[in-house]
Amino acid sequence: MLWKQAEATGWGRVHRATAALARPERLSTLAAALAEGPVSMAGGLRAYGDAALNDGGRIVLTTRLDRLLDFDGAGGEVEAEAGVAIGDLLDFLLPHGWMPAVSPGTGFATLGGCIAADVHGKNHGLAGSFGQHVRHLHLMDAAGKVRKLSPAREKTALRATIGGMGLTGAIVSARIGLLPAPSQMMEVDERRMPDLDALMDGLASAPTPFSVAWIDATAKGLATGRGVLEEADFAQISDTPSARRALRVPLDAPGALLAPPVVRAFNSAYFHRIPEAGRTRNRPIRDFFYPLDRLHDWNRLYGKRGFHQVQYVVPEGDAREVLHTCLTEIAASGLAAPLAVLKRLGEGRGGMLSFPMAGYTLAVDLAARPAAHPLAARLTARVVEAGGRVYLAKDALTDAASIAAMYPDLDAFRAAAEKLDPEGRFITDMARRLKLREAA
Amino acid sequence: MSATWLILGASSAMARAFARRAAAEGVELILAGRDGDDLSRAAQDCKLRGATAVATVAFDLGRPTSFAKVLDLARATRGQLNVACFVGSMPEQVEIDAAPALIDRVLAENLAGPLHLLQALAEEMAGREGGTLLCLGSVAGDRGRRGNYVYGAAKAGLHAALSGLRSRYAGDGVHVMTVKPGFVDTAMTWGVDGMFLVASPAAVAEAIWKGAERQRNVLYVPWFWAVIMGIIRLIPERIFKRLPI
Q: Is the pLDDT of residue A439 over 80?
A: no
Buried b (16+ CB within 10 A) or exposed e, A133-163: bbbbbbbbbbeeeeeebeeeebeebbbbbbb
Contacts of A2 in chain B (CB under 8 A): 190-191
Q: Is the pLDDT of residue B84 over 90?
A: yes
- Among candidates B16, B35, B190 on the partner chain, residue whose Cβ is nearest the Cβ of A23: B190
Shortest Cα distance, chain A CAs vs residue B124, angstroms: 32
Q: What's the pLDDT score for residue B167? A: 98
CA atoms within a 13 Å half-sphere pointing along the CA-CB vector of A43: 30
Cβ atoms of A65 and A82 within 8 Å: the answer is: yes
Of the listed ranges A25-29, A69-73, A204-208, B230-234, the least confidently predicted one is B230-234
Would you state the torsion angle of the CA atoms of residues A6, B225, B165, B25, taken in this order, to the nearest 10 degrees? 70
Shortest Cα distance, chain A CAs vs residue B107, angstroms: 21
Q: Is the pLDDT of residue B3 over 70?
A: yes
Helix B13-23 crosses helix B201-213 at what angle (to 10 degrees)? 50
Q: What's the pLDDT score for residue A241? A: 74
The span from the first CA to the last CA of chain A, in angstroms, equals 38
Torsion A102-A105-A107-A111 (CA) sign: negative
Give the pLDDT band (50/70/90) at residue B62. Answer: confident
CA triple B112-B162-B95, angle to 5 deg:
45
B38 touches chain A (CB under 8 A): yes
Distance of CA A54 to the CA centre of its chain: 19
As a whole-number percent, the residues of chain A with pLDDT over 70 amount to 99
As a whole-number percent, the residues of chain A with pLDDT over 90 amount to 88
Contacts of A64 in chain B (CB under 8 A): 13, 187
Determine phi and psi for B131, rounding to 5 degrees. Answer: 160, -165
Shortest Cα distance, chain B CAs vs residue A92, angstroms: 8
What pairing do the DSSP bridges indicate for beta strands B131-136 and B80-85? parallel
The C-alpha atoms of residue B75 and residue B72 are separated, in whole angstroms, by 5
The C-alpha atoms of residue A289 and residue A107 are separated, in whole angstroms, by 8
Cβ atoms of B111 and B141 within 8 Å: the answer is: no
Contacts of B35 in chain A (CB under 8 A): 26, 28
Q: CB pairs under 8 A, 24+ apart, for A262-269? A: A263/A218, A263/A336, A263/A337, A263/A338, A264/A218, A266/A338, A267/A216, A267/A217, A267/A218, A267/A219, A267/A338, A268/A216
**Concatenated DSSP letters of A19-65:** EEEE--SSHHHHHHHHHTS-EEEESS---SSSTT--TTSEEEE-TT-
Q: What does the pLDDT average to over A128-138?
A: 98
Contacts of B12 in chain A (CB under 8 A): 25
The C-alpha atoms of residue A41 and residue A63 are separated, in whole angstroms, by 11
Judged by CB atoms closer than 8 Å, whether chains meet at B11 and A26 is answered as yes
Contacts of A24 in chain B (CB under 8 A): 187
- Helices of type H across A290-341: 319-333
The span from the first CA to the last CA of chain B, in angstroms, equals 48
Q: What's the pLDDT score for residue A248? A: 86
Q: Which of residues 40-69 of B touch A (CB under 8 A)?
A: 41-42, 44-45, 48-49
Cβ atoms of B199 and B182 within 8 Å: the answer is: yes
As a whole-number percent, the residues of chain B with pLDDT over 90 amount to 84
pLDDT in tens, A163-183: 999 999 999 999 999 999 999
Question: What DSSP character marks residue A105?
Answer: S
Q: What's the pLDDT score for residue A45? A: 97
Higher confidence at residue A405 or residue B61?
Answer: A405
CB pairs under 8 A between A and B: 49
Tell me the pLDDT of chain B averaged across its residues: 94
Give the pLDDT band (50/70/90) at residue A258. Answer: confident
The C-alpha atoms of residue A221 and residue A109 are separated, in whole angstroms, by 37
Contacts of B190 in chain A (CB under 8 A): 1-2, 4, 22-23
Judged by CB atoms closer than 8 Å, whether chains meet at B11 and A81 is answered as no
Give the pLDDT band (50/70/90) at residue A440. Answer: low
Shortest Cα distance, chain A CAs vs residue B187, angstroms: 7
SS3 A249: coil
Determine phi and psi for B220, rounding to 5 degrees. Answer: -90, 135
Q: Is the pLDDT of residue A359 over 60?
A: yes
Q: Is the pLDDT of residue A242 over 90?
A: no
B11 touches chain A (CB under 8 A): yes
pTM: 0.95
Q: What's the pLDDT score for residue A288? A: 93
Give the pLDDT band (50/70/90) at residue B9. Answer: very high
Helix (H) or strand (E) holding B103: helix B102-107
Helix (H) or strand (E) holding B33: strand B28-33
Which of B39, B48, B193 is the best residue to mutate to test the A interface, defined by the most A CB atoms within 10 Å of its own CB? Answer: B48
Tell me the pLDDT of chain A averaged across its residues: 95
Q: How many other CB atoms sit within 10 Å of the CB of residue A412? A: 16
Q: Which of residues 20-79 of A touch B (CB under 8 A)?
A: 22-29, 64, 67-71
B191 touches chain A (CB under 8 A): yes
Q: What's the pLDDT score for residue B1? A: 56
Q: Which of residues 104-163 of B touch A (CB under 8 A)?
A: none
Give the pLDDT band (50/70/90) at residue B196. Answer: confident
Judged by CB atoms closer than 8 Å, whether chains meet at A81 and B41 is answered as yes
Contacts of B48 in chain A (CB under 8 A): 68-71, 92
The C-alpha atoms of residue B88 and residue B135 are separated, in whole angstroms, by 10
Contacts of A22 in chain B (CB under 8 A): 190
Written as one letter, the residue type at B207 is: A
Judged by CB atoms closer than 8 Å, whether chains meet at A68 and B35 is answered as no
Q: Is the pLDDT of residue B204 over 80?
A: yes
Between the alpha carbon of residue A341 and those of residues A125, A199, A338, A413, B28, the distances in Å are: 16, 11, 10, 29, 47
